[in-house]
Amino acid sequence: MLFTLELAIVLACLFYGARKGGIALGLLGGLGLVILAFAFKLPPGKPPVDVMLTIVAVVAASATLQASGGLDVMLQYAEKLLRRNPRYVSILAPFTTCILTMLCGTGHVVYTMLPIIYDVAIKNDIRPERPMAAASIASQMGIMASPVSVAIVSLAAFLAKAPVDGQVITFVTLLSISIPATLAGVLAIGIFSWFRGKDLDKDPDFQALIADPENRKRVYGDTATLLQKKLTRDQWTAMWIFLGGIAVVALLGAFESLRPLANGKPISMILTIQMFMLMAGALMVVFTKTDPAAIGRSEVFRAGMIAVIAVFGIAWMADTVFESNLPQLKAALADVVKAHPWAYALALLLVSKFVNSQAAAISALVPVALAIGVPPGYVVAFGAAAYGYYILPTYPSDLATIQFDRSGTTHIGRFVVNHSFILPGLIGVFTSCVFGLLLATVRGLV
């Protein structure tokens, strides 16, 4: 009964924080922590300091990339790809936004691409819902395949403390499973999207909309493009520095012998990521004319700092409850999760929906799952299940997609859950989990 009350406090803080949105999610974790420590007398758990510092370093580098204009180089080349292959926009658009997220560590890059994807689709008589809903979903799926995303660095930090047969699941091993699994899911989304919905010339609702000349002018509108934007040498320099930093991190993760020794062991990948991401940001400031004040004002920095506080409050609160009740939890759940490991994926999906954040879902659930006996291999295999906030169309990127689609084909249905994102989301996450499980099995992790 006592544990049920403690768990209810955790869930109440998650629900209310998620409804308020933004930084409130992390702050509500602090409120729950005070209640648990002072009213229920639970010893406070440990805040995930390593995870938080890694997030700060990664966000600092990504925000510097955005402030320097290096992100515009990637976006311009993405637009060129789409405009040269308009027939395949329903498949290319989700791959484009997914890869941009993988490179930048945040799905917020999708906002710049949405008007371009719409323009390519509508000017080629392709139902905009097809590439736009797919692109929004794929941009969030890319988070679990990005070496510089908050969710992946958090997961890597937790897995570093949970060896499999004496061997730690390395950062590179994690990515070697999450990247192909994610891309398989994105491909499944693209194939489905190519055939979804009615063609525009056969859609009575769309034809009725454009029958009015004013509506037709608004629907087809002016061309949205980044192609005319002139790129500077500094923008190119910043992009190459950032990509070089990611490449070095991947190299050091793959070849442990390249890392210096500390107490007889190579320094951890968590510290390596922190050092090289800070260095990448520093080099961008030194070798370009980036205004350091602009870094803190960037969208990437704002979103990243919110993620830090969310991870801080949520993970600390969850650790306090579950660490204090670990013996009972192991006795009650260990056999269940070992017999039905898919239950972990379902739990992760639901927690993600409640907190609207893959990083927060991982921080709240992964330490608990590992502690009660979920094999680390399954945690890696089902990483894609951390994305569940497409279930209801409340996430900013989904709402923005609806607004950018002036044709009205991307929509929220009468029953709310029958919206344009639900099927691409389910198909993408399910496919990624299946491929993740196959890859983890091949690697001997499960």
The per-residue pLDDT for 330 is 67
How do residues 289-311 score in pLDDT, each as one tens digit? 999 999 999 877 887 788 788 77
Q: In the predicted model, is pLDDT for residue 120 greater than 90?
A: yes
- Please tell me whether the overall predicted TM-score, pTM, comes out greater than 0.85 for this model: no
Query: Which stretches of 268-357 are DSSP H helices?
Result: 269-287, 292-297, 299-324, 326-339, 342-355
Burial class (CB in 10 A: 0-12, 13-18, 19+), 207: exposed
Q: Which residue has the higher pLDDT, 35 or 58?
A: 35
Provide the 3-class DSSP secondary structure of residue 124. coil
Q: Is 31 exposed, middle or buried (0-12, 13-18, 19+ CB in 10 A)?
A: middle
Distance CA(235)–CA(213), nearest Å, equals: 42
- The pLDDT value recorded for residue 434 is 97
Lowest mean pLDDT among 99-113, 127-141, 146-160: 99-113
The two three-digit tokens of residue 88, written as one number: 């395949």
> Is the pLDDT confidence value at 430 over 90?
yes
Q: Are 311 and 153 in contact (CB under 8 A)?
A: no
The per-residue pLDDT for 420 is: 94
- Average pLDDT estimate for 228-246: 92
Share of the chain above pLDDT 70, in %: 97
More reliable by pLDDT, 188 or 348: 188
Q: What is the mean pLDDT of residues 402-413?
A: 89
Judge contact between 420 and 90, C-beta under 8 A.
Answer: no
The average confidence (pLDDT) of the chain is: 88
Alpha carbon separation from 354 to 12, 239, 255, 386, 422 (Å, rounded): 10, 35, 38, 11, 16
Can you list the pairs that 160-166 forms with residues at least 24 positions away whose Cβ atoms lie under 8 Å? Answer: 160/268, 160/269, 160/270, 161/370, 162/370, 162/376, 162/379, 163/376, 164/375, 164/376, 164/377, 164/445
pLDDT in tens, 9-27: 988 887 788 677 668 878 9
